[in-house]
Structure 1
Amino acid sequence: MKVGMIGTGSMGSTLLDAFIHFGALQPQQLFISNRTIKKSLALSERHEGLNVCRNNVQTVRCSDVLFICVKPLQFPSLIQEIKDDVRPNQLIISITSPVQLAHLENSLCCKIAKVIPSVTHKVGSGASLVMYGSRIEENDKQFLHDLLSSFSKPLEIKESQARINSDFSSCGPAFMSFFLSKWIDAAIEMTGSSREEVTCLASEMILGTGKLLTQGGLTPLQLQELIAVPGGITAQALLQLNHNLDGVFHQLITTTHHKYDEDVKELDKLFGRPEIN
């Protein structure tokens, strides 16, 4: 199986590294192209045997499966560039949330899927969100599931739920890191604690919490109840957090969904089709 990748920026290179590091693919199976060839060459130095293509059309021609890892508004021009070289039996996978399956199925003759990855794949963890177009067959689903299972937990979702699920799986690590950063800064400012020590404690806490919620079978509410003894320190602090954060997460979801809707509407225009509801 030959797998192509157009776009080797932050998330594209994360996927490529995960494919190789966790044994899903050998470098010799991968064909890549990027707007800045220096990035592709740097990856080929890191992974001996990786195939660097001279342009995107060559990547398409060399691949059975193709991941497109470019920014949303770059898709229409890229599709125009490669569409005449796409084959009906190819599987093309977008990793860009606002680009709809319908955008690609109306523009290309091949099988289409969408995968929303996470930076957590760097350490062989996290969920990868998977959506399938109308031409996908069961063997395509099995191939993609097996490929992604090497470093993530693939979850098939409805495309209409892509944004809210991405808030947790893809954006979530940044949101949680922001919360921790603010907490750590406050601890240092108020107590003079060592940043290195507090950061280590916070990181280990996040790791252990994740295991309790996955391997330990606890829900977030059950975990709070397990720790927060009535009238105790944790319970008092949770009351304060509940008061101060009232409405914050509704605003967060409103913000991410508003940006997503803006991008989809712009892509509708660029792809020359009516807006998708």
Structure 2
Amino acid sequence: MASVRIGFIGAGNMAQALAKGMVSAGLTKPQHIIASSPKTDQHLLDQMAAIGCSTTHNNAEATAHSDVVVISVKPAVVPRVLHDIKPSVTSARPLVTSVALGVTLATMEGVLPTESRVIRVMPNTPALVQLGASVFTRGTHATDADATLTHRLLSAVGECDEVPETFLDAITGLSGAGPAYMYLVVEALADGGVKMGLPRPLAQKLAAQTMMGAAKMVIATGKHPGQLKDEVCSPGGCTIQGVHALEKGGIRAAFIDAVHAATTTSISTASGK
């Protein structure tokens, strides 16, 4: 796996998170990664170069010698990128993957050469610390070997599942946007600690560790989150009082609404609205 050559089209936050995570996990080497971006984004390429990756302003160059290409640009830019890399793509190589919001497999396959191997990916930024939540869906000509390779690459930076493409908008609203929701929770909990007299660094550390620990409990025990919540809430205790305050504030509805709003935006992006 360390010999896999990966080309990133786009060098923003997601590309950097995936590149750093894959290198940290030993799945590839920095010298086997090349990233391309416009001259206006030279600062992003400089950050990739700081990892030890090669850089270029030529998308075709980033594609020509790669085993896997990761398209990591804004959705509106994807059609131009696909045309840029088209001459360098065959049915044999590279495997073309995309993390672009709302860009469907049909869209990519419609531009690239016939029988191009395409996979659509939805990762999230905690891949940077190897705690990502990623999913992927394969195109018409992607093979079992392609799916296995994609799974191994994404599993190196967190959890990974293969899903139907119809799930991707909802997954975008849940785990794609989800880290931002969780950062708000950590910040709010820390603010609560500060309000009650704790130093901010300590309050923030406790809030973040508590969130990470609670998430680990859900995954490790396999218990329903409601059961775990009940196990913490002693009758008449302080925890149930805090839970009651959250329920009065509509916390469940707020998170459901957040996922709904983000999913709706993803659907609109895919439909061009």
State TM-score, norm by structure 1: 0.89
Residue 151 (structure 2) aligns with: 145
Please identify runs of 4+ aligned residues in structure 1 that moved more than 6 A.
Answer: none
Residue 88 (structure 1) aligns with: 91
Structure 1: how far apart are the matches of 2:256 and 2:151? 32
Measured after TM superposition, the shift of residue 204 of structure 1 is 1.5
Match of 1:165 among 171, 176, 179: 171
Structure 2: how far apart are the matches of 1:126 and 1:79? 26
Q: Report the more deviating stretch, 237-246 or 106-115.
A: 237-246
Residue 225 (structure 2) aligns with: 220
Residue pairs, 1:109-124, within 5 angstroms? 109=113, 110-124=116-130
Residue 55 (structure 2) aligns with: 52
Structure 1: how far apart are the matches of 2:171 and 2:229? 23
Structure 1: how far apart are the matches of 2:132 and 2:102? 21
The CA deviation string for residues 191-233 of structure 1, in whole angstroms up to 9 with x for no partner, is 2321111111111211211221112333211110110123322
Structure 1: how far apart are the matches of 2:51 and 2:149? 26
Structure 1: how far apart are the matches of 2:35 and 2:205? 37
Residue 10 (structure 1) aligns with: 13
**Change in CA separation of 1:46 and 1:30 when aligned onto 2, cut-off 3 Å:** closer
**Change in CA separation of 1:158 and 1:43 when aligned onto 2, cut-off 3 Å:** same
Q: Any conservation in 2 of the 1:123–1:151 contact (CA below 8 Å)?
A: yes
Match of 1:43 among 35, 42, 48: 48
Residue pairs, 1:20-35, within 5 angstroms? 20-35=23-38
Residue pairs, 1:122-133, within 5 angstroms? 122-133=128-139
Matched residues, number: 264
Identity across matched positions, percent: 25
Q: What SS does structure 2 have at the residue aligned with 1:75?
A: helix
Q: What SS does structure 2 have at the residue aligned with 1:106?
A: helix
The CA deviation string for residues 109-159 of structure 1, in whole angstroms up to 9 with x for no partner, is 211101111221122113211111111111111111122222211111121
Measured after TM superposition, the shift of residue 69 of structure 1 is 0.4
Match of 2:207 among 183, 202, 209: 202
Structure 2 stretches lacking a partner, 5+ long: none
Q: What SS does structure 2 have at the residue aligned with 1:42?
A: helix
Match of 2:245 among 237, 240, 246: 240
Measured after TM superposition, the shift of residue 254 of structure 1 is 2.8
The CA deviation string for residues 47-103 of structure 1, in whole angstroms up to 9 with x for no partner, is 2xx222341111111212110000111111222222233222221000123111111
Q: What SS does structure 2 have at the residue aligned with 1:115?
A: strand
Q: What SS does structure 1 have at the residue aligned with 2:119?
A: strand
Structure 1: how far apart are the matches of 2:237 and 2:197? 24
Structure 1 stretches lacking a partner, 5+ long: 268-277
Which letter maps to 2:31? Answer: Q
Structure 1: how far apart are the matches of 2:153 and 2:36? 21
Q: What SS does structure 2 have at the residue aligned with 1:218?
A: coil
State TM-score, norm by structure 2: 0.90
Which letter maps to 2:16? Answer: S
Match of 2:265 among 235, 259, 264: 259
The CA deviation string for residues 142-181 of structure 1, in whole angstroms up to 9 with x for no partner, is 1111222222111111211112223332221210110221
**Change in CA separation of 1:45 and 1:249 when aligned onto 2, cut-off 3 Å:** closer
Q: Any conservation in 2 of the 1:8–1:33 contact (CA below 8 Å)?
A: yes
Residue 184 (structure 1) aligns with: 190
**Change in CA separation of 1:197 and 1:229 when aligned onto 2, cut-off 3 Å:** same
Q: Any conservation in 2 of the 1:118–1:128 contact (CA below 8 Å)?
A: yes
Structure 1: how far apart are the matches of 2:265 and 2:154? 27
Which letter maps to 2:209? Answer: E
Q: Any conservation in 1 of the 2:18–2:157 contact (CA below 8 Å)?
A: no
CA RMSD of aligned residues (A): 1.8
